[in-house]
Amino acid sequence: MSNEVTEKVHVLIIGSGPAGYTAAIYAARANMKPVLYQGIQPGGQLTITTEVENYPGYPDGIQGPEMMVHFEKQAARMGADIRYGLATKVDFSKQPYKVEIDEEKWIEADAVIISTGASAKWLGIESEQRLNGFGVSACAVCDGFFFRGKEVAIIGAGDTAAEEAMYLAKLCTQVHMIVRRDQMRASKVMQDRVINTPNIKIYWDSVTDEIVGENKVEAVKIKNTKTNEIQQVPISGFFVAIGHQPNSDIFKEWIDMDETGYIKTIPGTSKTNIEGVFAAGDVQDKHYRQAVTAAGSGCMAALDAERYLSAKGLV
């Protein structure tokens, strides 16, 4: 199809997790008339979590999907135009920038805020999918608290897996760490810490055969890849820490990224290498990946966009 523009907007926000919705709240209050497209997973990763206990302002905790409904309602009340739809292509060659939605219409925008998030990598086994949110999690910092005083398993071998194993070891009686090879990818200092933590047991040359349980995690079957021996270990929680994939593919031609696809921003700002294009949340944050930090960076992106448009005489 042609790339004929069918609509012109001031600020276009791509993605709808805490970063996107917070950017929409700030942009709408600043009278920038933002249009937000929710993407393939409206509400982002929080819609696949259950209880969120570490977001300020919710003393009794809140379900992740419900929290994202609150964010959306607040953005809408401020005047943000929130729409279903997926950004499928972008053209950042000249201003105003063009973004294709659902492979069928092109929108022009004076400023663009990218908040497309990242997706956790999963093992891809049936029991993992079935028990996701019922003891299976991809975020120890988010969900480890629910397994205090219990036994858990974690799979992964990088720095994130090592950090999360250490975090879980402070809360849980025993952490069973499943490592595919005979060594870890994590930095030497992190490996040493894990190996020297008494309540972390490492299963080398091992993979997850199955997570056992009907409505909740009850055990894990760990298979040794050298001997093919399978042992069943009773656990209450299973954490997947094999990495995240930033949802940044459609921007690769235009935006500077690191080797794994995270968008690079100028430190202390949300600015990308393209003037007037900003990035917020997990698509540019591989370190913290929390709802509260994503929301904070969404605020930064809206303020940066406002200053940019103001300097251009567009608001």
Give the active site residues. Answer: 139, 142-143
Structure tokens at 166: 């250490």
- According to the 3-state scheme, what is the secondary structure of the chain? CCCCEEEEEEEEEECCCHHHHHHHHHHHHCCCCCEEECCCCCCHHHHHCCEECCCCCCCCCEEHHHHHHHHHHHHHHHCCEEECCCEEEEECCCCCEEEEECCCEEEEEEEEEECCCEEECCCCCHHHHHCECCCEECCHHHHHHHHCCCEEEEECCCHHHHHHHHHHHHHCCEEEEECCCCCCCCCHHHHHHHHCCCCEEEECCEEEEEEECCCCCCEEEEEECCCCCEEEEECCEEEECCCEEECCHHHCCCCCECCCCCECCCCCCCECCCCCEEECHHHCCCCCCCHHHHHHHHHHHHHHHHHHHHHCCCC
**Which tokens in the block code for residue 230?**
């399978």
Cis peptide before 246 (omega within 30 of 0): no
Strands 151-155 and 174-178 turn out to be parallel
Other C-beta atoms lying within 10 Å of the C-beta of residue 189 = 10
Exposure string of 88-102, with b = 16+ CB inside 10 Å and e = fewer, is eebebeebbbbbbbe
